[in-house]
Amino acid sequence: MDMQFDLAQSARRESPAANSCPASARVSACAQCQVRSHAICADLDGAELDALNRTGRRVSLRAGQTVMWEGDDSTIVANVIEGTLKLSTSTGDGREQIVGVVYPSDFIGRPFGARTPHSVTALTDARLCLFPRGAFDGFAREHPQLEHRLLQRTLDDLDRTRAWMLLLGRKTAREKVASFLIDMTRRLDPDGEGVQIDLPLSRQQMADILGLTIETVSRQMTEMKRLGIIELAGRRGVCILDEDRLEAMAEAA
């Protein structure tokens, strides 16, 4: 039995227990959610949040746990509350290709769709707001503001995909690594506080997603450290010391 089925069944089994909680407690949990203002449910009022909450529940994932499998029936969707997850697909000979990374406030799953286009696996421990896809689809149809947010997310994802095509097709190795570090640090440190972040991807995973070798990725990051643009701590800790220079490196022609 795969993880997607387990989580979808769990959401349906436990929703009556969630319904036994006072409505004020459920709405309060949403009001205190750290990604509330950026998630697809941001435009819903208290009563609408309560109605949406009755269809799903919060679940926790361990790093390495897969929540959706490529090609399976699309039975669940989710908001990411905490953690980082990867989107991956398999080549004809069984090799994995990472096609995207999702962060807190991102939405995963395929609403209004029959099949899951890629696998979704936790890179770090994560928490999700999980909904059975059918119930979520019905709710979205009745709430245009939620459909609007979904459309907005779809268009944003399309823009990111086009930017990624440019990165993979035209940029040099140095520009690729710099662009990737900028994107990831902004997603993991949205307030721009300049604190150290732990990259959720290994050097090998970074190399795979950028179309480079692990030696090239390591060499580029070591050079950025030598130039005083970033600081490295351990295998995955990174702090951007000079964001302007890193941006210039990412956009260099």
* Distances, alpha carbon 162 to alpha carbons 99, 158, 165, 252, in Å: 13, 6, 5, 18
| Structure confidence at residue 228 (pLDDT) | 95
* Distances, alpha carbon 193 to alpha carbons 72, 102, 209, 246, in Å: 40, 21, 27, 16
| Structure confidence at residue 208 (pLDDT) | 87
What is the C-alpha to C-alpha distance for residues 29 and 245, in angstroms, rounded to an integer? 41
For residue 142, pLDDT over 70 is answered with: yes
Q: What are all long-range contacts of 27-33, with beta carbons under 8 Å and residues at least 24 apart?
A: 27/53, 29/53, 33/81
Q: Tokens 């969707």: give the residue.
A: 77
The candidate with the shortest Cα–Cα distance to 135, out of 80, 85, 78, 82, is 78
Span between the terminal Cα atoms of the chain, in Å = 50
Band (pLDDT 50/70/90 cuts) for residue 12 is: very low
| Structure confidence at residue 125 (pLDDT) | 94
Backbone angles phi, psi at 195, to 5 degrees: -75, 160
Q: What percent of the chain has pLDDT over 90?
A: 43
Q: Which amino acid is at 29?
A: A
Domains and CATH numbers, the chain: 3-144 (2.60.120.10), 171-251 (1.10.10.10)
Per DSSP, helices labelled H in 171-202 are 173-188
What is the C-alpha to C-alpha distance for residues 23 and 53, in angstroms, rounded to an integer? 9
Q: What are all long-range contacts of 88-97, with beta carbons under 8 Å and residues at least 24 apart?
A: 88/118, 88/119, 88/121, 89/117, 89/118, 89/119, 90/119, 96/208, 97/208
Residues contacting residue 74 through CB under 8 Å, at least 6 positions apart: 109, 110, 111, 113, 114, 115, 116, 133
pLDDT digits (tens, 9 = 90+) for 21-80: 444 445 456 767 788 778 888 888 888 888 888 888 999 999 999 999 999 999 999 999
pLDDT digits (tens, 9 = 90+) for 190-249: 666 666 788 888 899 889 888 899 999 999 999 999 999 999 988 889 999 999 999 999
Q: Confirm whether pTM is higher than 0.85.
A: no
Distance of CA 8 to the CA centre of its chain: 19
